[in-house]
Structure 1
């Protein structure tokens, strides 16, 4: 086993760029195998190791396991880091807490790699669990041997090892591994053994599925790399199958998003059929789409879009939103000029439901004007309307109402000059 381990780590170049390595150790047989072999060959591999342990405080044996791992580390002069789970326990909450703890230790103590003891059995179980949960095909690749994590990498050097290949080393037995409360235990102890009666190679078949899924997905990434996924025109020009894969690739950039299959299908439909769109996806994530581009983004604080209106009651230069306004004083490089009634207040404000503007002798809803003119959603949200006497005289740098045009030749009128802020 040790000879195979060294061969796998060297061929995989797992530790070539790492000197300080943190090992996640629970005290069970798998993690103690990993700790044992990395301690024994750390000089050969050119690394220094530290031990990280999480006490989940859910079983009476938890204290004994912590003491066991701590004594093992201290006996060998290895740094020992421990943390304790608090709050309502669940598998997901515990997993999140563990990896947050590992990331903190890596950052605070300058470790560049976290190493965990996942083996081939864990890999097969993970793939099967993802099948049960209805994960998308791209996730059938299972656990990766090396992936970015925290301030460095997460490495799983035992993924090619079956559990029966591991050494007999001193360890603690975790009785919760036989509890049917947890899905992974049911998969490991019930579901897979039952299916292996039908196909003795079932575990091997799962591993092959994972490898083929990973190879296929990597090939797709390489073939579609030149495509600008977020360019709406380019995206919609692809076949339905290619759009599906492109969107999967894009969504993978947001690991916290975790869309269900139905949510993903809804997102795809929006991108295929909708024009300007602002859609809440999940949590803090939104889809923002206009006629040119789309993006998934966390909700952003409002910029300079004004929540309150601004009233101009005298001549001068004023700023509102993204624009500079000047009443009755010519503005250098003005991009729009509106004619208004003299001696009456001018209101600058954002758009409201039901707003209308008189264009070409027709009263048109501003919402419909934006749609017809294909105005991007961000521009719509930041649009500034110029109102006087309850009527819309213009939209800054976009539209001029017939009301303004009719005043152009009047002797008694006010003139509003507009330009974008630099």
Structure 2
């Protein structure tokens, strides 16, 4: 415990901090340490308490911490969780707490939120993730200092054992409340604490030092992986208009592990598991040149012409039809426009202008249809085949517009030079 004050000075001196206090032994000890060293650290303390309403003692504990903070001239915020989660209560409650802490931090202009996780919490987390599977960084356990949006989450007791916390509480007469739900076998974490960790402690008296070393090693290794992942994303991945794109050949230069990390990072907002990502990588590495896969309702993967794209946009074409009766400027979908003037049709994406005869008006602009073709002097050619020859991406094809004469025959593909003479 002697290193705690030194670490607190390094992280918190002259700062305003928010301390999450449940009234259990861990957070009560943390609050006591901060109060006793308040002058030394020159800190301002604000307390947050969440009443989960899961036990009869909850109301009593909430009243106690309010009185305690008033006696010590500490500002306190409290929240009562009224909603009952239908799923994983612990995970739901954790998210509710973090949202509450963040709300207070923003209101009080606080950058550091302190949580009382300790060495045994870290070991429990590592074991849970080893059993259930996680990332390399996840296997490292709980971070002592991490970010949540634009604030820091700091855990000063993370290298302190439970026995040391109990010893401090006894020596300093710290009042706290026991949470009996921590003994219930229905929670996975509790089962690990009760049945697995005691055996590990018997096998290695220096278990927590070993776990600390293990955690540090994985954190350092995961940082190297994260740096390499970010390097590839920054240099080889293009993100534009909600489309993520990269070269298939560049992606294949990555090791299988790093390829998984890169794709997992890119697709993290969509909630993919590592297993999902590995299946997508199989499609990227497959010999099939064209793959279009709607992997989520709001995400489609397109592999073509040596490129891989992930897009939020639907690839379904929105029908469009426009009759041009006279010269002028006309608005088109996707903030495009086309100009008809002096027998020339000017479309920004075209390499050169398209000629037309204003005596042959009206002419039409419409979206592509199945079976469309352009007539040449030597025969006809399907629009789809022309686009394939021009290597037009499937991401672009659903935005294609065709220029048609007054008889409805396709004469040009807007944005692409097509010689139909």
Q: TM-score range by the shorter chain?
A: 0.7 to 0.9
Rounded Cα–Cα distance in structure 1 between residues aligned with 2:304 and 2:106: 40
1:215 to 194, 201, 220: 220
Task: Please say if residues 263 and 281 of structure 1, whose CA atoms lie closer than 8 Å, have aligned partners that are also in contact.
Answer: no
Task: Please say if residues 128 and 206 of structure 1, whose CA atoms lie closer than 8 Å, have aligned partners that are also in contact.
Answer: no
**TM-score under structure 1 length normalisation:** 0.80
Rounded Cα–Cα distance in structure 1 between residues aligned with 2:203 and 2:254: 34
Q: Does the C-alpha gap of structure 1 residues 284 and 94 become closer, same or farther in structure 2, counting only changes over 3 Å?
A: farther
Pairwise mapping of residues 22-421 of structure 1 onto structure 2 (< 5 A)? Answer: 22-89=18-85, 90-166=89-165, 167-168=168-169, 169-196=174-201, 204-222=209-227, 226-227=231-232, 228-230=235-237, 236-237=249-250, 241-242=254-255, 244-245=257-258, 247-249=260-262, 251-252=264-265, 256-273=269-286, 280-281=294-295, 299=312, 307-321=319-333, 322-326=336-340, 329-330=343-344, 335-337=352-354, 339=356, 343=360, 345-353=362-370, 355-357=372-374, 361=379, 363-364=381-382, 366=384, 369-388=386-405, 389-400=407-418, 402=420, 405=421
Matched with 2:11 is 14
CA deviations 1:366-396 (Å, max 9, x no partner) are 2x54454333454333322224545432221
How many residue pairs get matched? 395
SS state of the match for residue 271, structure 2? coil
Matched with 1:409 is none
Q: Which runs of 5+ in 1 are unaligned?
A: 406-422
Q: Does the C-alpha gap of structure 1 residues 226 and 337 become closer, same or farther in structure 2, counting only changes over 3 Å?
A: same
Rounded Cα–Cα distance in structure 2 between residues aligned with 1:44 and 1:275: 66
Q: Does the C-alpha gap of structure 1 residues 331 and 124 become closer, same or farther in structure 2, counting only changes over 3 Å?
A: same
Over aligned residue pairs, what C-alpha RMSD do you find?
3.5
Q: Does the C-alpha gap of structure 1 residues 197 and 81 become closer, same or farther in structure 2, counting only changes over 3 Å?
A: same
Rounded Cα–Cα distance in structure 1 between residues aligned with 2:372 and 2:210: 62
Q: Does the C-alpha gap of structure 1 residues 152 and 300 become closer, same or farther in structure 2, counting only changes over 3 Å?
A: farther
CA deviations 1:32-64 (Å, max 9, x no partner) are 111111122123223211001111122222211
**TM-score under structure 2 length normalisation:** 0.80
Q: Which runs of 5+ in 2 are unaligned?
A: 239-244
Rounded Cα–Cα distance in structure 1 between residues aligned with 2:55 and 2:164: 28
SS state of the match for residue 400, structure 1? coil
Rounded Cα–Cα distance in structure 1 between residues aligned with 2:413 and 2:136: 48
Rounded Cα–Cα distance in structure 2 between residues aligned with 1:149 and 1:234: 33
Select the structure with the greater relative contact order (CA < 8 A; seq sep ≥ 6).
1
Rounded Cα–Cα distance in structure 1 between residues aligned with 2:314 and 2:390: 27
